[in-house]
Amino acid sequence: MHRLAIRSTWLNPTRNPETHKYFTHKFFIALPITENLNDLLLQVILESVIYKDILINPFPDSYIKTPIKSISLFNYGVKTIGAYYILRVNDDVYIDLDIVFESIKGLVPSRVYGFFNVEGEGMRIPRPRYFGFEDNAEGQETLLKTNRAWTFLENDYFSDSVPDFCQGNAILLSQDLALKISNLKDMPWVRKERVADDILIAVTLGGGEFRRPEVGRIGYEHEGKFVRCDSGEGIWFNIHPEYFYGLLENKVEGREWCDGIDEVLCCGIQ
């Protein structure tokens, strides 16, 4: 559902042909954990044959594996595509490529790191115990499965501080920075499974001065009832795929981004 919505809306080349000619895309997935694995794999392989845009990582899918998928993605973008920029995006994110392209085309393509910057200073490191769980792998995995909430165990991330980082829903890196992340695949001593990929990326890049693309205000949504559409500017996080079509239609018709979408949101797609 998510991939179809993305292909039909913000990745549809007929919607933004001038901008789209500068982009290529791939969906990075892993092996689904299901009793009907063969049937599901057949569906994915068929989808891949039709659209030619799916890369399957050879390991069982899990939220804990997200950093490994991200490393694989940046490795592909740098070493296979040779792209100036690599944008890693969750499948529940809506992006206006025209706005994103305008935000980067005036930048020198070096040390570019975006989009939604979070200041690490004063941020409390989330531990399972803060949410009523034991500080162990079981507590951590339970939180990930039930709430998709990253927490950190001391033996995986012992520090009580994090650097400034770009929030993991949509991370843009120029080629030089993406290469640093790509190289993590050849560093078995670096922990990659139990640290959120946005923090892992920030720690690997090592801080310093970065060029930050400006896309305006990030819009947040949340799947479920009684959520008002947030008129962001170019990027929306945590969007139900049904809302993608409303955002695109409003853009095409020249309306406000959230025009008419509140009525959809209130109806409770869970």
What are phi and psi for residue 79, nearest 5 degrees? Answer: -90, -20
User: What pLDDT score does 109 carry?
Assistant: 93
Instruction: Categorize the per-residue pLDDT at 219 as very low, low, confident or very high, splitting at 50, 70 and 90.
Output: low
Share of the chain above pLDDT 90, in %: 30
Query: Taking the model in full, what pTM does it have?
Result: 0.87
Q: What is the 3-state secondary structure (H, E, C) of 187-224?
A: CCCCCCCCCCHHHHHHHHHCCCCCECCCCCCCEECCCC
Q: Look at residue 117 and tell me whether its pLDDT is greater than 90.
A: no
Instruction: Categorize the per-residue pLDDT at 43 as very low, low, confident or very high, splitting at 50, 70 and 90.
Output: confident
Q: Look at residue 268 and tell me whether its pLDDT is greater than 50.
A: no
Stretch 44-49: mean pLDDT: 85
Query: Rounded mean pLDDT of the chain?
Result: 83
- If you compute the radius of gyration of the chain from its CA atoms, what whole number of angstroms results? 19
Structure tokens at 93: 């994110």
Tell me the DSSP string of the chain.
Answer: -HHHHHHHTTT-TTTSHHHHTT----EEEEE--STTHHHHHHHHHHHHHHH--EEEEEEE--GGGHHHHHHHHHHHIIIII--SEEEEE-TT-EE-HHHHHHHHTTS-SSSBEEEEEE--TTPPPP-GGGGTS-SSHHHHHHHHHHH------TTT---S----EEEEEEEEEEHHHHHHHHGGGG-TTS--SSS-HHHHHHHHHT-S--B-----PPEE--SSSS------SSEEES--HHHHHHHHHHHHHT--TTTTTHHHHTT---
Structure tokens at 192: 């990659």
Q: Is 39 exposed, middle or buried (0-12, 13-18, 19+ CB in 10 A)?
A: exposed
Return the minimum-mean-pLDDT range out of 93-97, 169-173, 217-221, 223-227: 223-227
Nearest alpha carbon to residue 57 among 77, 39, 43, 76? 76
User: What pLDDT score does 262 carry?
Assistant: 59
Q: CA angle 221-106-88, nearest 5°?
A: 40
Distances (CA, A) of 194 to 24, 75, 114, 212: 30, 20, 23, 27
Domain boundaries, the chain: 2-123+161-216
Q: Look at residue 269 and tell me whether its pLDDT is greater than 50.
A: no
